[in-house]
């Protein structure tokens, strides 16, 4: 996931080099839908990411401009992570993955509600979430 290594010039391949592993996408998901923002928040995710993998993915996402980090307003010992504009621009892709998944997998009610809302008016849904993410 280094910024300088590319497998090819294919746009899909280049994109996957930045955010294509499952852990990076789950971190992005947590930032978008679950309002997580600290290292410990990500560790508490249901999927159970290992600390070394989490540290590696956060570093790679930051190096690739997907996330930004800042001082936590309530604790000097914590770092606060948030999506950059580049990271927020991934929202429509994540929404499409959710909608696709809804066709083929059973969903918990909470996620089903998000998908239902997104399906009603995708553009409006994406704009609203984008606005919320930018205001953080």
User: Rounded to two decimals, what is the model's pTM?
Assistant: 0.88
For residues 72 and 69, give the distance between their C-alpha atoms in angstroms, rounded to a whole number: 9
Looking at residues 62-86, what average pLDDT do you find? 92
What tokens were used for 104?
Answer: 């083929």
Model confidence band, residue 43 (pLDDT cutoffs 50, 70, 90): very high
pLDDT in tens, 51-64: 999 999 999 999 99
- Confidence band for 6, pLDDT divided at 50, 70 and 90: confident
Which pLDDT score is estimated for 1? 45
Q: Cβ of 42: how many Cβ atoms within 10 Å?
A: 23
Helix (H, G, I), strand (E, B) or coil at 70: strand
Q: Give the tokens for residue 109.
A: 């009610």
């Amino acid at each position: 996931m280094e910024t300088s290594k590319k497998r090819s010039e294919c746009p899909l391949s280049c994109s996957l080099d930045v955010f294509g592993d499952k852990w990076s996408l789950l971190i992005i998901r947590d930032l978008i839908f679950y309002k997580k923002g600290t290292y410990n928040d990500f560790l508490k995710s249901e999927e159970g990411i290992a600390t070394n993998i989490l540290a590696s993915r956060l570093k790679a996402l930051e190096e690739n401009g997907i996330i930004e980090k800042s001082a936590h307003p309530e604790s000097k010992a914590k770092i606060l992570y948030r999506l950059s504009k580049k990271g927020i621009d991934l929202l429509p892709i994540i929404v499409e993955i959710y909608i696709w998944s809804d066709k083929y997998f059973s969903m918990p009610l909470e996620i089903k509600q998000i998908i239902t809302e997104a399906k009603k008016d995708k553009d409006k849904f994406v704009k609203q979430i984008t606005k919320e993410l930018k205001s953080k």
